Amino acid sequence: MYQHVLVAIDGSDHSKRAAQHALQLVEGNPAAEVAIVCAVDYGKSEKESNRGLTSEQIASATREYLAPFEDIFHQANVRVKSVIIHGAPGPAIVSHANEHPYDLVIIGSRGLNPVQEFVLGSVSHKVAKRVKAPVLVIK
């Protein structure tokens, strides 16, 4: 049974389904804890800083954004914590996951077409390829 589960959240429908799958896997296990992880790439957030938002305001908005995901687990009496990591999502999630003792990493697939995935790669592909723990990709 999984006790330490990381769920990567990016706001897509796939990541919402990933959270639901995580809940199904740990619900009823009093020892389980879910870490909801969201990567903030400040380099890509320049448009927010150009609108006058500071990095603290961006972090605060991210915490507010993660609150409904936390509620999903709180309502089911599952221990949950939110973790905001910094950097490009793929490498940041990989680094965080490999530095902690997660039993499972769950991430949504954005569903890129095969050409885009081949040329650009996807976050879920990078995570699945480089994380040491088992990875469940949700479509």
**How much is the pTM?**
0.87
The pLDDT, as a whole number, for residue 120 is: 47
pLDDT-based confidence at residue 53 (cuts at 50, 70, 90): confident
Confirm if 128 and 30 have CB atoms less than 8 A apart. Answer: no
Can you tell me which residue has the tokens 């095969």? 114
What is the rounded CA–CA span in Å between residue 86 and residue 41?
Answer: 6
For residues 64-81, average pLDDT: 95
For residues 23-51, average pLDDT: 81
What is the rounded CA–CA span in Å between residue 8 and residue 36?
Answer: 6
Report the range of poorest mean pLDDT among 45-49, 59-63, 119-123, 133-137.
45-49
The DSSP output letter for 11 is: S
pLDDT-based confidence at residue 132 (cuts at 50, 70, 90): very high
pLDDT-based confidence at residue 118 (cuts at 50, 70, 90): low
